[in-house]
Amino acid sequence: MSHTATAESEETESGKQLELLEHLTELRTRLVRTAVYVGLGTIVGWVYYKPFFKLLSAPMAPALGKGQSFIGTDVTEGFMIRVQIAVLIGIIIAFPLVTLEAWRFIAPGLTRKERRAAQLIGPLSVILFASGVVLSYFIQPVGIRWLVSQYPAGVSFMPKIGPNVIFILKMYLAFGVVFQMPIVLMFLGKIGIVDSKMLKSYWRQAIVLIGIVAAAITPSGDAFTMLVMAGPMVLLYVLSIGFVRLVEPRS
């Protein structure tokens, strides 16, 4: 009897190890795909560097006076800024696909109804990310113009190309990432960390937390940009309650 129990225990342990190995293999596959997505996006960013740079520098245009432009102070700066822009563009392009890979990793644990809900993740992630980037594109000129207006009289604004263009790109990325809130909360709802009732009950604390996140993640740090980011986040939080209800475990 003891020998049988020992054999069953060893078989169970072996099954757990095999299952863990399968999960690790699946995780490695997802990570490799993520790296490929970012790599391909980086190539796109490198090849189409000029139109991307034009798009990135557009929010700075209203703050530049007549005859003003970006300045470069380092012989290697042009190459380095191109590399940085290409990599960040690659991350932005790949981000929705990376989100989709994360959801596919947990897909085997979803019920049929939850899988149908999860099919919305890919399109929803793209729409939310694009919405964040578009909002950032339209509000950045106002924020940048306000920040530049804080210079004292007699000071000429001559922005360096590297830090300022990367700053704008980081703003795009920050807004795009923040707009993924419903996706993140759906994931937390699926694994049981939060549920729709909890999100309803703690909405006041959520608004305070949203304000802190908006202040921390906004590269400019100005009040206008933080408010513009926090407003949509509150709306997304409300929408997330319904999305979480679709995937949360049923009692």
Q: What is the pLDDT of residue 172?
A: 85
Highest mean pLDDT among 22-26, 41-45, 69-73, 204-208: 41-45
What is the average pLDDT across 11-34? 72
Backbone angles phi, psi at 160, to 5 degrees: -75, 140
Pair 224, 167: CB distance under 8 Å: no
Q: What are 157-215's pLDDT values in tens digits?
A: 788 888 888 888 888 888 888 888 888 888 777 767 888 888 888 888 888 888 888 87
Model pTM above 0.75: no
Backbone angles phi, psi at 240, to 5 degrees: -65, -30
CA angle 68, 55, 163 (to 5 degrees): 60
Alpha helix stretches (DSSP H) within the chain? 2-47, 49-57, 77-106, 112-118, 121-148, 161-178, 181-190, 196-201, 203-217, 223-247
Residue whose pair of structure tokens reads 């679709």 in the numeric block? 246
What is the average pLDDT across 92-96? 81
Share of the chain above pLDDT 90, in %: 6
Q: What are 100-154's pLDDT values in tens digits?
A: 777 777 666 666 666 666 667 767 778 888 888 888 888 888 878 877 888 888 7
Domain residue extents for the chain: 2-247
Q: Which pLDDT band holds residue 68 (cuts at 50, 70, 90)? A: confident
Q: What is the pLDDT of residue 46?
A: 94
Compute the CA torsion angle 182, 186, 192, 193 (nearest 10 deg).
-20
Q: What is the pLDDT of residue 236?
A: 87
Q: Which region among 6-10, 68-72, 232-236, 237-241 has the lowest average model confidence (pLDDT)?
A: 6-10
Asked if residue 10 has pLDDT above 70, the reply is no
Q: How far apart are CA 191 and CA 83, in angstroms?
A: 38
Q: What is the pLDDT of residue 125?
A: 78
